Every structure is written in C-alpha cells, then in structure tokens.
C-alpha cells in the first residue's frame, strides 16, 4: 500500500493524462492528414503503410529499452527522457520532405513514445493500491481519446492557416511545456524502496519472467488487441473518406462521437472493475467480466464495411472504441496485478513490444489489402474477432489464480 495522499496520487494521474493527450494527438494527426499528405507528397497506400510500419518497429525497440530504464531509473527521469525524444521528433515531422525522412523521424518518434507506456504504468503501480489501479489507468487512458478530440478541434484550423507542416511544428513546440510540469511536480512515492529503483530487466530476470504463464498471456493479448486501436487512429479517417465520402472539413462530427464515447468507455471500464472488487469480487473475476463484455460489444465491427449508412457505421465503431478502451484499462492493470512492482516496467515493455509487432503486421496487412483489394472488409473482420480470442486466452489460462481471490 502506498503512503502518498489521495491528492498526490490523482495529481500524478492528471499529469499522465495530459501527456497521453499530447502523444495521441500525433497519432490522430497522422491519420487525419493522410489524404492531404498523400496528395501533397504523392504517396501510395504502401508508402503510407511503410511509414506507419517504421513507427511500430520503433515501438518494439523502444518498449524493450525503456521498460528496463523505468525499472532502473524511475518514472520521473525515464518519462522525461522518453517524452523529450517524442516531442523533438513530432516537431521535426513538419520539416521532412522525402519518404525516407518521414520513416526515420517516425521511427525516432515511436522510440520516444513507447517509453511513455511503461513509465506511466510503473508510476501507477507504485502510487496506487490494487483496487484503484484500473480506475487510475482508465482515467489517464482516456487521454488517448481526448487527444484525438483536441486534434479534431485544432488541426483543421492549423492546417488551414499554416498547412500540415505548421500543424506538426506548432503542436510539437506546445508539447514541450509538459516537461516542465512533470519535472516540477513528480516525485518518488514516500514509501518506495530506493533499492527497487536500481533493478531492471537483465537477461536472467527476463528468462525468469517468461517462465510464468501470466507473462505469455499478457504478451499474447497485447499482440492481438493493440493493432485495432492503431486502426482507428491511422486508417479510420481514410475509411470515412473512401466509404462515406467525408474529407478533412467534415470528419469532425463522426470522429468526435467516436472518441467521446471512447473516453467514456475508458473511465467506465476502470470504474466497473474497481466497483466489482469493492463489492467483494476477486480481482481476476472483476477484470475478466469487464473484458468479456467488451469483446461481445466489439464483435459487430465485422458489419461496418457493409453498412451504407454513415450513422450506423459511426455508432458501431464508437461502441467498439469505447469497449476497446474499457478492455484496455483492465488489461493494463494485469502487470501490476500479477508481478512485483520492481519489474512492472519491464513486463509492460515486453508486452508493448508484442503489441507493436502485431501493429506492424496489421499495418502491412491493411496496406496490401487497400492497395490491391480497395476494401476494408478483411480489415474490420480481423478487428472484430481478436478481442474474443484474447478474452478466451485470459480465461482458460487461469492467470489470476496466482493472486489472492480478494483484496482486503
């Protein structure tokens, strides 16, 4: 149990929420500006997919690097380092011209952004007791959707006046302000063991972690589900453009609906499992109940490419996005539920790398399908079924049998 005050804990969550908003603005910007950038730079679908793949490849490297960094040096310095690299690369996107330059910059950006994931989960594992973790994660995870909403509000205006290059430079410089807030307010938890901050993921520790089935389950579920959220960010505007003839000027309303509901889902998913635990449910039963319901709600994604009605397509995607965020809030609690806090950053890094590999495969699959089939049907079919498979893996692996049935 932590000894920090409730106010201190939620101040930290607020800072992480702001950082999540900023990093997810970049993701939504790249997808939102896809038609404009393709027209300006002459990219094919495979060119765009290649730049996205470079970003995901960086996540494999970054997660495996920054996970141990967070365990060794702590969230304060580790988060600052990762975010600095991200902000510098995001700003540089406005200066790139060739496909190779974009690929290199997106790779560096991905390395930096990947470090923010183990940093924020390590901070939560140290500051929050188990019964509050999913709610805390749900709150800062809502930054993903809020960042997308900010993108819809700001980027079309910035692009209109300063072009897509000015939009990247302006939002990148704004992001640097967050660093000062983080370094000014974040501190090590009062009861943290200083020796724990010097541990990291050595090959011996890695081998030991991967001997346990809960590590493999976390890796498998991240591999399956992470790519779907990237689909929303990098390809959803293009889907609306292709299937419903929407462009940058009118993307706002449908994307606004999708990401507002996603925010609600993120907080609701964390709150629901915390409420079930408070009523006496085991940690495992609470988490798995929420994730199973979410998997059912996401299944209708299969029907989206066949819908001729914009409203129906948006409604199904919005519910699925909300369910993804609720699912994610509980999945991201799994490392701190099942592992000692000294290695949470490392196991998050391994799982994140698996998710990045899945995202690479999804990006390649999407690029090939769109280039040669000109159809989103296979893409949404995959997105609709993977959560059910992931939930079954968690249930039948019985990973939560290794922890106490109830939290006192």
- CA distances in angstroms from 322 to 327, 328, 390, listed in the order given: 9, 10, 17
- Six token digits for residue 390: 């992931």
274: closest CA among 265, 263, 283, 266? 283
Task: Bin 208: left if φ > 0, else alpha if -120 < ψ < 50, else beta.
Answer: alpha
- CA distances in angstroms from 39 to 29, 205, 324, 403, listed in the order given: 16, 49, 32, 54
In this predicted structure, the answer to whether residue 295 has a pLDDT above a threshold of 90 is yes
In this predicted structure, the answer to whether residue 228 has a pLDDT above a threshold of 60 is yes
In this predicted structure, the answer to whether residue 213 has a pLDDT above a threshold of 50 is yes
Provide the pLDDT confidence category of residue 248 given band limits of 50, 70 and 90. Answer: low
Q: Among 20-34, 160-174, 216-230, 332-346, which stretch is predicted with the lowest mean pLDDT?
A: 332-346
Identify which has the larger pLDDT, 332 or 144: 332
Q: Among 59-73, 90-104, 312-326, 375-389, which stretch is predicted with the lowest mean pLDDT?
A: 59-73
- Six token digits for residue 147: 């960042």
403: closest CA among 138, 130, 205, 121? 130
pLDDT of res. 251:
62
The mean pLDDT of 85-100, rounded to a whole number, is 89
pLDDT of res. 387:
94
Q: How far apart are the C-alpha atoms of 130 and 124, rounded to whole Å?
A: 10
DSSP state of 339: S
pLDDT digits (tens, 9 = 90+) for 299-326: 999 999 998 898 899 999 999 999 998 9
Provide the pLDDT confidence category of residue 31 given band limits of 50, 70 and 90. Answer: confident
- Six token digits for residue 189: 């938890």
pLDDT of res. 408:
37
pLDDT digits (tens, 9 = 90+) for 129-153: 777 877 787 777 777 777 877 887 7
Provide the pLDDT confidence category of residue 8 given band limits of 50, 70 and 90. Answer: confident
Identify which has the larger pLDDT, 238 or 194: 238
Q: Contacts for 190-198 with beta carbons within 8 Å, 24 or more apart?
A: 190/2, 190/3, 190/4, 191/2, 191/3, 191/4, 192/126, 196/341, 196/342, 197/71, 197/72, 197/73, 197/74, 198/72
Percent of the residues in the chain that have a pLDDT greater than 90, as a whole number: 18
pLDDT of res. 244:
82
pTM higher than 0.85:
no
The mean pLDDT of 370-383, rounded to a whole number, is 90
In this predicted structure, the answer to whether residue 389 has a pLDDT above a threshold of 90 is yes
pLDDT of res. 4:
56
Provide the pLDDT confidence category of residue 405 given band limits of 50, 70 and 90. Answer: very low
pLDDT of res. 202:
52
pLDDT of res. 190:
67
In this predicted structure, the answer to whether residue 221 has a pLDDT above a threshold of 90 is yes
Q: Where are the domains of the chain?
A: 6-187+194-402
pLDDT of res. 1:
43
Identify which has the larger pLDDT, 182 or 248: 182
Superfamily of domain 6-187+194-402: MFS general substrate transporter like domains (1.20.1250.20)
């Amino acid at each position: 149990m932590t000894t920090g005050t409730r106010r201190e804990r939620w101040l930290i969550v607020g800072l992480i929420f702001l950082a999540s908003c900023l990093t997810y603005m970049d993701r939504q910007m790249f997808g939102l500006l896809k038609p404009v950038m393709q027209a300006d730079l002459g990219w094919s679908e495979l060119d765009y997919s290649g730049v996205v793949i470079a970003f995901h490849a960086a996540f494999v490297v970054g997660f495996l690097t920054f996970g141990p960094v967070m365990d060794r040096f702590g969230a304060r310095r580790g988060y600052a380092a990762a975010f600095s690299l991200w902000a510098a690369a995001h700003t540089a996107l406005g200066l790139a011209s060739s496909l190779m330059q974009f690929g290199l910059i997106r790779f560096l950006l991905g390395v930096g952004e990947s470090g923010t994931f183990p940093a924020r989960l390590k901070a939560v594992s140290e500051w929050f007791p188990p019964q509050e973790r999913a709610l805390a994660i749900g709150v800062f995870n809502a930054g993903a959707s809020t960042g997308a909403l900010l993108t819809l509000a700001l980027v079309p205006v910035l692009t209109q006046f300063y072009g897509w290059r000015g939009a990247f430079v302006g939002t990148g410089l704004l992001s640097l302000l967050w660093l000062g807030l983080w370094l000014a307010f974040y501190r090590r938890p009062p009861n943290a063991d200083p020796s724990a901050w010097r541990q990291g993921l050595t090959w011996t520790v890695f081998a030991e972690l991967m001997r346990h089935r809960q590590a493999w389950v976390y890796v498998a579920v991240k591999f399956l589900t992470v790519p779907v959220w990237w689909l929303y960010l990098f390809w959803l505007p293009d889907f609306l453009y292709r299937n419903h003839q929407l462009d940058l000027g009118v993307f706002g309303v449908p994307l606004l609906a999708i990401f507002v509901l996603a925010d609600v889902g993120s907080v609701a998913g964390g709150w629901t499992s915390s409420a079930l635990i408070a009523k006496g449910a085991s940690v495992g039963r609470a988490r798995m109940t929420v994730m199973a319901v979410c998997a059912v709600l996401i299944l209708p994604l299969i029907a989206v490419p066949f819908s001729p009605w914009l409203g129906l397509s948006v409604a199904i995607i919005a519910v699925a996005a909300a369910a993804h965020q609720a699912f994610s809030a509980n999945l991201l609690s799994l490392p701190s539920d099942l592992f000692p806090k000294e290695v949470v950053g490392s196991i998050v890094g391994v799982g994140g790398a698996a998710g990045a590999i899945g995202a690479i495969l999804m990006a390649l699959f999407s690029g090939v399908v769109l280039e040669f089939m000109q159809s989103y049907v296979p893409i949404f079919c995959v997105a609709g079924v993977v959560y059910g498979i992931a939930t079954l893996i968690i249930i039948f692996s019985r990973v939560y049998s290794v922890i106490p049935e109830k939290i006192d």
